[in-house]
A and B are shown apart, each in its own frame.
Chain A
Amino acid sequence: MAEATATGTTSEEWQPKIVMFCCNWCSYGGADSAGMGRFQQPPTVRVIRVMCSGRMDPVFILNAFLEGADGVIFSGCHIGDCHYVNGNYKATIKYKFLKAMVNELGLEDERLKLDWISASEGERYAQVVTEFTEQIKKVGPSPLKPEGVI
């Protein structure tokens, strides 16, 4: 990870804060594989492990934004691969609601993303993080960020 940080971006440039929820069995493994495979990625992501993407509660995501996250990703096993049979189907429904909510609320659509990453997809994990970071840099700091939080 140290290497990724060093080769990241210059220190002056604003770095977004991204919260990423990963399911224990796939996406969290994907994060590990990305590290082990030394795939470069920006140091913008704070990973929070949940047992399954189906465990994702809308309150986690809303809280992340209120605490100052500029973007939130939540990810799990590919459809059909969830270790709890259908957790990621449940995640899909919740995502749909959250997405509609975030849009109506007036947060930019780009700030919330759902993606499926398997344990072996280290390279893809790094790619998702890199692309999402670029996307958030374009939209800038979140308007929900509390005063004093960077």
Chain B
Amino acid sequence: MDIGDCYVGWATDEDIRTRGASGGLVTAMLAAALEKGLVEAVVVLKKIGEFEAVPIVTSDPEEVKAAAGSMHSVPIVLSRYLEYGTKVALPAKPCDARSTIEQAKRGQVDIDTTYIVGLNCGGTMHPAVTREMLDVMYKLDPEDIEGEEIDKGKLIFETKDGKEHAIKIDELEEEGYGRRESCQYCAVNIPTMADIACGNWGVIGDLAGKGTFVEINTEKGIAILENAIDAGAVEITPADDKGKAIRAKVDGAMMNVAAAANEKHLSPIEGSHLDYYMNALKDCINCGACKTVCPVCACGETAKCTEFSSASDTYKMSLFHLVRFVHLMDSCIGCGQCTDVCPVDIPLTHIYQRFAVPMQEEFEYKPGMDMTTPPFFGVDLIED
């Protein structure tokens, strides 16, 4: 097995294979990594409702197996839950993988002991928006839903009576529902920065729906897949050229759509920028949630943005936000979590991206794609 190889794989356990999103390969790999001692812990999502899940750090393979399946209405980024030095594996959408790498650059995660099992990602939805969408667009009771999947551009909900209800994602997004805004312009679909990239794109023929496409990106990727094969938990077959071509084609098409969305999203502000920003931030209640969830921030409890600002400041703009604007210019990955959690609905991701994107473009630096030093810290020492 070599870096760059592509396979289609599946869990040998029938139960995992059927419950898994596309063959259960990821679940089987994570569970085998625990069982064989390759890692001490795995971070997965534990379902607590049809549209909600909580991240858990577990050493119990049964909990990992119970977490099989993709949850599209859970936008949580998992890298926040990793601990330095633990041998750990996690399933990772591109934003999970990218923030893990940014945390590693800031000494919060040991990249050598962290196995990033990448998941291709076409986007996630906000749980509350999903409920409203079910009511308004599908005319369904959210409590009546028993399953959800995305197939051929349609978002399909299954109700308890076994019926399927499908609407095109484009149509949903035109009405302001569907994927979160950040996911609409996120242009990284295949986690090339993860140790191994898994998805259902490119799985064709008899294996469609029953196999997971994997691309090996690193030595650690080889290790975690071979470990699962040796444990008898996983079987693989080389991916055929047609499958590879389809995967690349869909990825390319999605990237173009995202780039167009990004351009629209970051179109120039009309009128005074200062008025725009002052107005956008005026409702902030200083709760700090946006910082707490930010998966690339490595500051912890006492940080420059919080220590130097206070709710009683009478400044025209919040120093908390101004500091964060600068600090995130080279690291914001646009994951959308700050917007998700803001209790007063400030479009924070949108704002942070306005500051970050031009700088990242100027420095030709895309955070989280590899271990390159961020520009803010990238000073060349002069040799005497």
Residues of A within 8 A of B (CB): 57-59, 62-63, 66-67, 80, 85-86, 89-90, 93-94, 97-98, 100-101, 104-107, 143-147
Q: Chain A interface: which of B58-66, B150-158, B374-382?
A: B374-382
Q: Chain A interface: which of B88-96, B199-207, B322-330?
A: B322-330
Q: How many A-B residue pairs have CB under 8 A?
A: 82
Q: Beyond A104-B354, A104-B355, A106-B274, is A57–B315 a contact (Cβ under 8 Å)? A: no
Q: Specify which of A66, A101, A106 is in contact with B329 (CB 8 Å cutoff).
A: A101
Q: Specify which of B358, B381, B382, B384 is in contact with A104 (CB 8 Å cutoff).
A: B358
Q: What are 15 sample pairs from A and B whose C-beta atoms fall under 8 A apart?
A: A58-B323, A63-B308, A63-B319, A66-B322, A80-B382, A85-B382, A90-B379, A93-B376, A97-B359, A97-B376, A98-B326, A101-B329, A105-B274, A144-B315, A144-B317
Chain B residues lying within 8 Å of A89, measured Cβ to Cβ, are 379-380, 382
Q: How far is the CB of A33 from chain B (nearest CB, A)?
A: 26
- Flag if B274 contacts A62 (CB, 8 Å): no
Q: Specify which of A59, A90, A93, A100 is in contact with B358 (CB 8 Å cutoff).
A: A100
Chain A residues lying within 8 Å of B273, measured Cβ to Cβ, are 104-106
Q: Is the interface of A mostly helix, strand, loop or mixed?
A: helix
Residues of B within 8 A of A (CB): 272-277, 304, 308, 313-317, 319, 322-323, 325-327, 329-330, 354-355, 358-359, 362, 375-376, 378-382, 384
- Flag if B323 contacts A106 (CB, 8 Å): no
Residue from A67, A94, A105 with most neighbouring chain B CB atoms (10 Å): A105
- Flag if A62 contacts B316 (CB, 8 Å): no
Q: Which residue of A lies closest to B315 (CB)?
A: A66
> For the complex, what is the distance from the CA of A105 to the CA of B323, rounded to whole Å?
12
- Flag if B375 contacts A93 (CB, 8 Å): yes
Q: How far is the CB of A27 from chain B (nearest CB, A)?
A: 19
Chain A residues lying within 8 Å of B355, measured Cβ to Cβ, are 100-101, 104
> For the complex, what is the distance from the CA of A46 to the CA of B176, rounded to whole Å?
51
Chain A residues lying within 8 Å of B275, measured Cβ to Cβ, are 106
Chain A residues lying within 8 Å of B380, measured Cβ to Cβ, are 86, 89
> For the complex, what is the distance from the CA of A146 to the CA of B376, rounded to whole Å?
30
> For the complex, what is the distance from the CA of A97 to the CA of B317, rounded to whole Å?
19
Q: How far is the CB of B358 from chain A (nearest CB, A)?
A: 6
- Flag if B274 contacts A86 (CB, 8 Å): no
